[in-house]
């Protein structure tokens, strides 16, 4: 009897389930369910039919498709409507919306973090679940059409047809894609690019100094700022700057920041000052940098997001 070794595949399965669900916490739960099902079915695994990896992805795909039955997609605010033109609009969270969550890069090996950018994951969420699975399995994970057909209990022709429909749907989703990545996905700089690091370091210094003009100088003209679970969002460096003026008026100065990466993108944790002299975790911000400027900032304020990144809740101001 062959007992397949399952644990080495956990990381890439979490990344796969995250692409399918848009939630890191749910992805971890679904991978645990996948591992449990695989362990229970280990006596029925046939190495002559499929590799352990292909077999696990078949189980994970079924688990994800079951979890997605009857569920609404996980959006970002920019995928729900037009930008706001009022930097003073009420910041009322929409807690009934299952928002897209960021992916904590530090939790997994770099090899499995490709194609996890927030905009791409958000765009995938508009696809029907089976098309989403075909797209990820074929174009991200590079399984053959025959392997995907076996994983989905369908035919190769059906897989190829679903892939074509998925590609067409994404191509037509210009509103989602253009809002998500104003200057195009291909022009996005990697977080370890020296120029990108320099931009984010300047942004962090300006943020900690509450220097709004310096922040605005680091933005593209059409920079996007969005803040799930608050459903409103802004486009343009002018409204971005006016909103940041509001933030610093409300929360004061003396912030601290910590650099991170999320979804293969540069990110930071922002700590706001408290009257007692300490700082509390306020937001996690994930950046898109294009052409040496910040094109997009997704600002997360959900405590569950903070937990996934293992961030301290309070730090000293010194």
pLDDT digits (tens, 9 = 90+) for 265-303: 999 999 999 988 899 999 999 999 999 999 999 999 988
Contact 132, 67 (CB under 8 A): no
What band does 316 get if pLDDT is binned at 50, 70 and 90? confident
Q: Does the pLDDT value for residue 56 go beyond 80? A: yes
Q: Which residue has the higher pLDDT, 176 or 279?
A: 279
Q: Does the pLDDT value for residue 76 go beyond 90? A: yes
Query: Distance between CA 114 and CA 90 in Å, rounded?
Result: 36
Fold adopted by 188-316: Nuclear Transport Factor 2; Chain: A, (3.10.450)
CA distances from 132 to 41, 58, 140, 158, 163 (A): 26, 14, 11, 14, 9
- pLDDT tens for 212-254 read 999 999 999 999 999 999 999 999 999 999 999 999 999 888 9
Contact 230, 92 (CB under 8 A): yes
Q: How large is the average pLDDT for residues 116-130? A: 91
Closest CA to 315 of 236, 256, 251: 256
pLDDT score at 175: 41
Burial of residue 245, with CB atoms counted within 10 A of its CB: 0-12 exposed, 13-18 middle, 19 or more buried: middle
What band does 1 get if pLDDT is binned at 50, 70 and 90? very low
Closest CA to 279 of 245, 241, 311: 311
pTM of the entire structure? 0.90
Q: Does the pLDDT value for residue 177 go beyond 80? A: no
Q: Which residue has the higher pLDDT, 6 or 217?
A: 217
The percent helix, strand, coil of the chain (3-state, each to 5) is 50, 20, 35
pLDDT score at 181: 44
Q: How large is the average pLDDT for residues 197-214? A: 96
Burial of residue 313, with CB atoms counted within 10 A of its CB: 0-12 exposed, 13-18 middle, 19 or more buried: exposed
* H or E element that contains 178: helix 174-180
Domain assignments of the chain as residue spans, ordered by start: 7-180, 188-316
């Amino acid at each position: 009897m062959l007992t397949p070794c399952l644990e080495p595949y956990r990381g890439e399965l979490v990344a796969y389930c995250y692409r399918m669900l848009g939630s890191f916490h749910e992805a971890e739960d679904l991978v645990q369910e996948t591992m449990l099902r695989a362990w229970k079915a280990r006596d029925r695994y046939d190495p002559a039919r499929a590799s352990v990896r292909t077999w696990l992805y078949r189980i994970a795909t079924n688990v994800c498709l079951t979890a997605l039955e009857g569920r609404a997609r996980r959006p970002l605010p920019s995928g729900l409507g037009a930008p706001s033109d009022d930097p003073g609009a009420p910041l009322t969270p929409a807690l009934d919306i299952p928002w897209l969550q960021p992916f904590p890069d530090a939790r997994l090996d770099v090899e499995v973090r490709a194609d996890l950018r927030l905009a791409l994951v958000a765009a995938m969420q508009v696809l029907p679940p089976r098309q989403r699975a075909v797209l990820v399995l074929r174009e991200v994970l590079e399984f053959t059409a025959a392997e995907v057909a076996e994983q989905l209990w369908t035919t190769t022709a059906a897989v190829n047809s679903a892939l074509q429909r998925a590609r067409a749907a994404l191509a037509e989703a210009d509103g989602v894609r253009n809002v998500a990545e104003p200057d195009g996905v291909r022009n996005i700089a990697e977080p370890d690019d020296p120029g990108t690091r320099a931009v984010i370091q300047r942004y962090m210094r300006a943020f900690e100094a509450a220097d709004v003009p310096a922040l605005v100088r680091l933005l593209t003209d059409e920079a996007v700022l969005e803040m799930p679970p608050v459903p409103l969002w802004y486009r343009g460096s002018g409204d971005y700057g006016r909103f940041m003026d509001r933030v610093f008026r409300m929360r004061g100065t003396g912030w601290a920041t910590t650099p991170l990466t999320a979804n293969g993108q540069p990110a930071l944790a922002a700590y706001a000052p408290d009257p007692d002299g300490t700082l509390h975790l306020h937001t996690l911000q994930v950046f898109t940098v294009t052409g040496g400027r910040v094109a997009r900032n997704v600002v997360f304020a959900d405590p569950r997001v903070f937990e996934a990144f293992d961030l301290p809740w309070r730090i000293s101001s010194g």
